[in-house]
Every structure is written in C-alpha cells, then in structure tokens.
Copies of this chain bind each other. A is one copy, B any other.
Amino acid sequence: MGNLTGACMFGQSGGPTSVINSSAAGVIQEALKQECITAVYGAAHGIKGVLDENFYDMSKEDTYELDLLKTTPSSELGSVRYKLKSADEDETDYKRLLEVFEKYNIRYFFYNGGNDSMDTCNKVSKYMQKVGYECRVMGVPKTIDNDLWGTDHCPGYGSAAKYIATSTMEVYKDARVYDTGMITVLEIMGRNAGWLTAAAALASYKGCGPDLIYLPELPFSMEKFLDETNKIYKEQGKVIIAVSEGCKDEQGRYIAEMGANLSTDSFGHAQLGGAASILANIAKEKIASKVRGIEFSLLQRCAAHVASQTDVNEAYLAGQMAVKYAVEGKTDYMVAFERAEGTEYKCNIKLINLTDVANTEKKIPREWINKEGNGLTEDFIKYALPLIQGESCAPIEDGLPRFSKLKKVLAKK
C-alpha cells in the first residue's frame, strides 16, 4: 500500500495502568513526526470522545509535557468502557464515526486498550473496510491483566507485577516482626486470568513471598485453603497467602459469595467484603487469632513510582511502532510482542490480526502452576522476571512525582 495522507486519532480505553500514557507518548510523538499525518488528535475518553467530537489537538502540547507522559500513571486523555454494538445490529455509532472521520479527514486510528478495546478497534476497522473508507487502524495493547491473546505479554503488566512483588516483599517483612502467629491474605486483581496474582511468586523467588498462591485458573476450594493454611501455620506460625479476586469454586461462586455461606460474625451477620477480608475472617475463625486481609486495590495499577523501565519502554515502543507500521501501509492489526529465543531477554514486535485478538483471553498455562495448585513453577518466574527489570519513576519535585500537565486544547470543529 502506498502513502496515505490525513489526520490521526488516538484513544485510550478500559482500565488505566502505570504505563498506558507511555504508549500515548509513543503514538503522539511518532505521529507528530510523520509528514503524511496532517493532524494528531487525542480523543477525550476514548471512542466516546470521537463520537462526541470531543478531542484534543496534540500539536499544541509542550514536548516536555508529552515526555512526562512516559512516567505519568492513569489514562491522561481519559478512558471509557463503551462497547460498540455489532454494526449489523445497530449502525448508528458507526455512521457517526464515519462522519467524524470524514469531517476531519482521519486516516489513521490508534486505539490503546485490552480485550474489549481491541474488540472496538476491530469493529471500527472492519466497518471502515466495509464502507470503503480508507483508514489504517491499529490496536496498541494495554492491560495489567496480561490476558491479551497472541502477544508474549502486555504493556502494563510488568509494572503492576513489579509493584505487587515489591509490596509483597515488604508486607512479608512486616508480617514477621512479632513472635506470635499471623496469617496474612493479599488480594490481587485479575477477574479471569491469574497473571497479576502470580506476580507475588516473584517475591517468593526472592525469599520474601507468599506460601500459598491461589489463581482463578483453578477452582478454589475453601477446605483446601484452610487445610493448606493450617498446615503451614502449625509448622511456621506465619502464613502469607496471595489470592486472586477472581477465584471461584467448582460451582462458579466467588469467594465473597462463599463467605456469605461459610462464615458469620459474632452478630450472626454474613461477612461482606472482598476475598482477602473474607478469607482472613474465616482463617481467624478456624485457625489463628491474628489475621490480616490486604487488598492492593487500585494501587497495583497506578503505582508509577515503582514502574518497570522495561515496561515503560515497551509501552512507548508499542505506540511508536503502531504509527510506523500504519504509515508503511499496515492496517487491521494489533502490535504485539514476541520473545526471542536465547537466554537474554529480548522481545521483537510483531503484528497480529485484530479479529484474532479481540475478546480472546489468555490464561496461565496449567504447567506453569505447581501440581498442588497453590504456587507457580520456575517457568513462570523465567517468564515474568525480565518484565519487571529496570526502575522507572517520574521526575521528583518537592519529594513527590511531577506528572505531565497537558493543555488539552480542543480540536477546532
């Protein structure tokens, strides 16, 4: 395919991460360099900003502030969770998108997100093809969940994993100071795939991690949890358990739902709360006097102060390469990572069809989970360790991070 001249639209979608803005920097800075790209727009709140004609002219931003995006957590342009209906079912949104694309001569569309966002990207791509509107559409991967199909890993995961492993090591130290028994339950994100929870195994690899790790890939059994915890408690007096918020039993019930049946407080009320507090409370009732449930909550996806430099660089590269490939004529792909053979970590960029990646979830292979189903194997460590290498954080002013401050000048209508 030849040269295509026109404007470019970039959007951020789905849950934010520590490094999604680094991909934004990659797309925006590369697009601003390209002669065939006549304008660079950043959509406010992803696809919604396109539909609402609410987007920023990125050429108005200072270079320094764009650079700072690399170390600014969260989705600086605003994100959205908006699922496009299938065009066969309802064409309204698509017609509107086409109208906006035509009005601004948008010929490049870059969409940065996880599974749902790649679905959006795919639908936009297919619709523009169908109606014969020439436009190069590229997905830029992002998700702390690391569950996108077809790529070795996803930008966002390495930094979340680094935060989880670091914090778990620190909690491990903290939970060991008294010579009394203590059970600590760490609740980690990941509704269907256990990649984030598995990252706690990196702390164990360094000698300061959980004794037990429960992933949503395997059915969760309260009895097994209590048996295994009790055994370690009897032996060592201290137990640390990492559990995924997405763990479900054979019947498909989440831990919070199981808790409601298994345990009641002293007033006879069912226990409410997240998996960590439920499990901590049940362990308190059945095993130990001292327990603590800790939820890493949002912190695990926005802790840019302890981001992985590898992740920040790769997130940037993914954005940059999406633009380069599109300018070269590629369309309808997501940028992905392919790990090179050899002992030293190296990832190459590859392209995968949007159709293949949209809505397909990648889970942890069974052989990377130990036989007992309560820990990870060395293969997982080998996989994950390179992803958390290098320390990234924002420039510090007054002892605190200096985040990017964009002007967000709205594009002229």
Interface residues of chain A, those whose CB is within 8 Å of chain B, are 12, 16, 44-45, 48, 72-76, 78-81, 162, 165-167, 169-171, 173-179, 202-203, 205-206, 208, 265, 267, 269-273, 277, 292, 294-295, 297-299, 301-306, 308, 385, 388-391, 396-401, 403
Partner of A165, one of B167, B169, B400: B400
Rounded to whole Å, the gap between the CB of A55 and the closest CB of chain B is: 13
Cα–Cα distance between A44 and B301 once the two chains are bound (Å)? 37
Cα–Cα distance between A174 and B81 once the two chains are bound (Å)? 14
Instruction: Assess whether B208 is in contact with A403, with CB atoms less than 8 Å apart.
Output: yes
Q: Nearest chain-B residue to A173 (Cβ)?
A: B74
Stoichiometry (number of copies): 2
Given contacts A203-B400, A399-B389, A400-B388, is CB(A72)–CB(B173) below 8 Å? Answer: yes
A-B contact pairs, 13 of them (CB 8 A): A16-B174, A72-B173, A78-B177, A81-B178, A169-B400, A169-B401, A170-B305, A171-B299, A203-B400, A269-B269, A292-B298, A389-B398, A391-B399
With A166-B401, A273-B273, A388-B399 given, can you name 12 additional A-B contacts, CB distance below 8 Å? A16-B174, A44-B179, A74-B170, A76-B173, A79-B177, A166-B305, A265-B272, A269-B269, A272-B272, A273-B277, A294-B299, A306-B306
Rounded to whole Å, the gap between the CB of A11 and the closest CB of chain B is: 12
Q: Nearest chain-B residue to A209 (Cβ)?
A: B400
Q: Nearest chain-B residue to A309 (Cβ)?
A: B399
Q: Which residues of B contact A73 (CB under 8 A)?
A: 170, 173-174
Cα–Cα distance between A298 and B16 once the two chains are bound (Å)? 24
Rounded to whole Å, the gap between the CB of A45 and the closest CB of chain B is: 5
